Amino acid sequence: MTAIVDYGTGNPSSITNMLKRIGHPSIVTSKISEISEASKIILPGVGSFDTAMDNLEKSGLKEILEEKALGQKVPFLGICLGMQLLTYGSEEGLKKGLGWIPAYTYKFKSSPVLKVPHMCWNTVQVTAENPLLQELEKESRYYFVHSYYVKTEAPGYSFLETRYGIAFSSGIANDNIFGVQFHPEKSHKYGMALLSNFMGL
Amino acid sequence: MAWPSCQILWDFNMNVRIIPVLSLLDDALVKTLKFSAAKYIGDPINTIRIFNEQEVDEVCILGIRTTLRNKPPDYKLIEAMATECFMPLSYGGGINSLETAKKIFQCGVEKIILGTYAIQNPSFISQCSLQYGSQAVVVAIDVRKSLFNQYAVMSHSGTVNTRLHPLKWAREAEAAGAGEILLTSINREGTWDGFDTVLVKEVSAGVSVPVIAHGGAGMPQHISEVIKSGASAVAVGSMFLYQRKGLGVLVNFPKQKIEEAIASI
């Protein structure tokens, strides 16, 4: 069973909806017992970095997620803020991130033309091979909504890059741990393909 | 023009969202003209399925005349529509408490659109934005231009003149936590005559959040014109719902023609 972690940052029903459409049951849960049984974990999230880390720490979810991702090495996917939490930290807050992927999260500089948040469909450039990109269609595009972006410490941890004024990492990975900045659950067949690949791991 | 600005303009233009707008009157999909004369279009679920297959950027659902008639949102229908929607979805109409907002998000909607109630209680924008993030809160500004070319923000489906100036209210809404402004020209809505680019230019230059231009789309060139005026997104009704002006219903999304028009900016 795939567990979608519910830690009080937005409503992840659209992820469940897309997984259901591609034939994979999933549960949205904040229960440690259910997460410890999960064979795959998705960490969604909208909202602020510190609030999200706070919620993970106070609920005791952080430990079980660490055990699952780092100990048992189950496939783990962070989406949007969920991806940024995988990094060491963010310019958005003061708290330490999970730090499972050597990377940091920075703030976009707003300009009169390029408004922040980066809220739109955008393309990706593949910068490294990754199992989530199997049978990737040419000109795949994804829906983004974010004010902060990720840069990895070493290029090897980034497999997708996107431009918005500057180039940033839109897909990062370290072993069984993956993060995407865009919303695959809201990105038509392109997002569906990526989630299918994750479910096939 | 120097290369860096070209690159930024390119990044900007290529990222503009084109958003079909679906107006619900009870459980029927309708299309209005200048906010009146609601004509029946068809079944909302079927229509959203078609737009999903056409891979549109985003969909906006407006429950029209809800506050005016004191009707709550039709949660069942909204949820059924959201289930068919593998792209971002916004909903507006009758959201007047954190409880209604919560129910709308639980239907699978990403963004709530606040109108009349936000004008009466600007602090409601802040409450929603604190709870769900400003990216999830859109403020709809319906504007009527008078015979003397004065702009005024209207509430209650265009029936009440609030005497607010569009830019002033847009700035206030932004300061309260609105993440986007859905700017509708009532005079142009449903007319196919092109957007009110003067209005769009004034508001989008005066706020730093994205402005969605709505009202008047009749051809791809209108869309590229309003993007040039500063719109971050373009909302389209009639043009995506009818074959042509005055002809029958045909749900369509002329993606290629729009992209060509945008690329030629």
- Give ipTM to 2 decimals: 0.88
State the average pLDDT over residues B222-251: 95
Q: What is the pLDDT of residue B8?
A: 62
Is the CB of A189 inside 8 Å of chain B's CB atoms?
yes
**How far from A197 is each of A133, A136, A193, B7, B70, CA to CA, in Å?**
7, 10, 6, 33, 46
pLDDT at B7 over 80: no
Residue of chain A whose alpha carbon sits nearest to that of B178: A117
Read off the pLDDT of residues A140-169 as tens digits, 9 standing for 90 and up. 999 999 999 999 999 999 999 999 989 999
Residue of chain B whose alpha carbon sits nearest to that of A187: B87
Nearest CA distance, A112 vs chain B (angstrom): 7
Q: What is the pLDDT of residue A59?
A: 95
| Average per-residue pLDDT for chain A | 94
* CA dihedral (A115, A120, A123, A128) positive or negative: positive
3-state secondary structure of B48: helix
Choose, from A80, A92, A118, A146, the residue flagged as catalytic.
A80
Interface contact A121-B15, CB threshold 8 A: yes
State the average pLDDT over residues B130-137: 89
HSE at residue A91, side-chain half, CA atoms within 13 A, is 10
pTM: 0.92
State the average pLDDT over residues B88-114: 95
Residue B246 CB partners (closer than 8 Å, separation 6+)? none
Give the closest of A47, A116, A191 to B133, CB-based: A47
Give contacts of B179 with chain A, Cβ < 8 Å. Answer: 117, 119
pLDDT at B178 over 50: yes
Structure-model confidence comparison of residues B264 and A194, the more confident one: A194
B142 given a catalytic annotation: yes
Q: What is the pLDDT of residue A21?
A: 95
Q: What is the pLDDT of residue B6?
A: 58
Read off the pLDDT of residues A9-61 as tens digits, 9 standing for 90 and up. 767 889 999 999 999 999 999 999 999 999 999 999 888 899 899 999 999 99
Nearest CA distance, B258 vs chain A (angstrom): 15
Q: Name the percent of chain A lying above pLDDT 90.
A: 86
3-state secondary structure of B140: strand
A183 given a catalytic annotation: yes
- Give the closest residue to A181 by CA, choosing from A147, A134, A153, A137: A147
Give the closest of A13, A121, A164 to B106, CB-based: A13
State the average pLDDT over residues B145-150: 95
Give contacts of B55 with chain A, Cβ < 8 Å. Answer: 188-189
Q: What is the pLDDT of residue B4?
A: 45
Q: What is the pLDDT of residue A63?
A: 97
State the average pLDDT over residues B44-55: 96
d(CA B114, CA B105) in angstroms, rounded, equals: 13
d(CA B221, CA B219) in angstroms, rounded, equals: 5
State the average pLDDT over residues B212-216: 98
Interface contact B208-A46, CB threshold 8 A: no
| Average per-residue pLDDT for chain B | 93
DSSP state of B58: -
Structure-model confidence comparison of residues B106 and B3, the more confident one: B106
Q: What is the pLDDT of residue A48?
A: 86
Q: A111 falls in which pLDDT band (50, 70, 90)?
A: confident
Residue of chain A whose alpha carbon sits nearest to that of B211: A115
Q: Looking at this protein, which amino acid is placed at residue A110? A: S
Q: Name the percent of chain B lying above pLDDT 70.
A: 95
Q: What is the pLDDT of residue B1?
A: 33
Structure tokens that stand for B96 in this block: 């007047």
Interface contact A188-B17, CB threshold 8 A: no
pLDDT at B85 over 50: yes
Interface contact A11-B179, CB threshold 8 A: no
Is the CB of A151 inside 8 Å of chain B's CB atoms?
no
Is the CB of A13 inside 8 Å of chain B's CB atoms?
yes
